[in-house]
Chain A
Amino acid sequence: MLTMGIDIGSRSAQCVILDNGELLTYGNIETGPESAKTAYAAVEAAVHRKDELWGSYRMELPDVKTSHLRIEDMDYIVATGYGRVIVPFAHANITEISCHARGAHWFMPGVSTVLDMGGQDCKGIRVNERGEVAKFVMNDKCAGGTGRFMEIIAAILQLPLPDIGGISLASTEKIPFNTICAVFAKSEAMALMKAGVNKADILAGLHEAISKRVLALLKRIGIEEKFVITGGIAKNVGVVAKLEEKLGGIKVTMLPEPQIAGAVGAALFAMDRASKRSAKTNPQPTLSGPTAGTATVALED
């Protein structure tokens, strides 16, 4: 059974294809101004395993041809994320909170806390043993500490976005930033840079401020192991390091491909729905009596 999850985020979109729940392929592209086009492009990226945007794939994929796959071959498609309602070929759409919880759970069974740091928002999710959302908190009102913020800072410092994490680790001096506002941080960073302050120090200072704010958000739902970070910013080793410093011993589990958690969750939900659908149309006789959700034909004699 082939199922697909599409996560249309504010800055990037991912497509994941599962084969009976096993990862078959995935792709990541920049979100364009039109959700529908973006969705199709994400499928292309997955099917053709395009890696221009990401560089190399961080997860091993089965050595199986996928370039022949079409949307019509999917048994069920679930869309999630900011642009989920406008994916024309999705059978259903499910909130990104549920999908991130499910996806994180798939990567790391036993996950209890998920921090999703995305393009324009930041979410904290407590997950139960079944991968369902138990508690949830979100900031989507302020750009501070989101991917947008990182992009702005990287541009001001004239550094490639994927490098800022690594560069920040070389910091030797503490630069306090007393606000996480992207607008203020931008001018402060510019002024510091002009004054000759080391870029690594500026970045470390900002990462410190971001991690404080993120932790304050997470404390509202409580942080417990296993703790997983999803979303693009999880790839910023500087932010992760600052977060870990403050977690009092709780380890951060890094996912090999943190940005696809939402799409993975969506594809798993797709699998649930596809199974239910085929169970409804092909009711299986059972000898053990009625089971919830399954049509039964009792074999009485």
Chain B
Amino acid sequence: MAVAGIDMGALVTKVVILNTNRILGAATLMTGETGETEARQAMDEALKQAGLKLEDIKSVVATGTGRAKVSFAQKQRTAMSCHAKGACFLFPEARTVIDVGAESSAAILLSADGKVSDSVSNDKCAAGSGIFLDAMSRMLRVPLAEMGPESLQATEAVPITSMCVIFAESEVISHVHRDPPVPRSNILAGIHASITDRLYGMAQRVGAESPVVMTGGASKNIGIVRALEAKLGTTVLVPEDPQIVGALGAALLA
């Protein structure tokens, strides 16, 4: 029988439909204002891919910031446990998960049997989550998807001393207006270094161990992945679709 997991993030809603550990369908959709509507839409999209109807789904587990809004979910699970479960399924040897979402981030230490052993998260401060990248993308007028690759072309990372997104924005503006001009890739490298520092700090607090897996939409940014690898001194594993790991974990827990 098929099960489903739905991860209602602050920005994106993800659905994964599983049948005996095989992904039958997956969908992502921007989380709108109501939540419930988008949850249904995302579910319908995933069901279409799987060739199933909602009645065919034995159990639905909801996770993420908006999980309480999913009326058709039978159970709710924490984002931590879902990300841990999902990451372990994809990388059985994983010991640390670093999840970087739109408005929150977390570092999760796993025990040998894939359970959450320690975790630290931040959803109170915009630094260290996707919204920081989004703000910078808009300020520098560089499309979000290009920020990572361009940052890797830097000759050196411009230092951004502020953790705070608001203060960092001012720092970036002053770098943009420097004379002689600073290469944009260097500024981007500085921005990526800044967000990575934050993630690294969280990783250290849980005693991160290799292998490290990154999840969440922001881990599609190659600049962050490389910067984190450099700081951790180890390869960072990124799933093919890092954004659905939470929903996958939720489905596995259904």
Contact = CB atoms under 8 A, between A and B. Distances in A.
Nearest to A183: B126
Nearest to B173: A33
Contacts of B124: 178-181, 184
B162 interface: yes
A182 interface: yes
B139 interface: no
A180 B162 CA distance: 17
Describe B's contact surface by its main secondary structure.
Answer: loop
Given A120-B167, A141-B164, A143-B167, A181 B126 contact: yes
Interface residues of A, number: 15
A238 to B, nearest CB: 21
Contacts of A142: 125, 163-164
B166 A184 contact: no
Interface residues of B, number: 15
A181 B165 CA distance: 9
Interface string A156-172: 00000000000000000
B126 A184 contact: yes
A181 B33 contact: no
Contacts of A152: 166
Nearest to B124: A179
Given A142-B125, A191-B33, A183 B162 contact: no
Interface string A178-200: 11111110000001000000000
Contacts of A181: 124-126
B99 interface: no
A178 B125 CA distance: 11
Contacts of B165: 143, 182-183
Given A143-B165, A184-B124, 15 more contacts: A120-B167, A141-B163, A142-B164, A148-B167, A179-B124, A179-B125, A181-B126, A182-B164, A182-B165, A183-B131, A183-B135, A183-B165, A183-B166, A184-B126, A191-B33
Interface of A: 120, 141-143, 148-149, 152, 178-184, 191
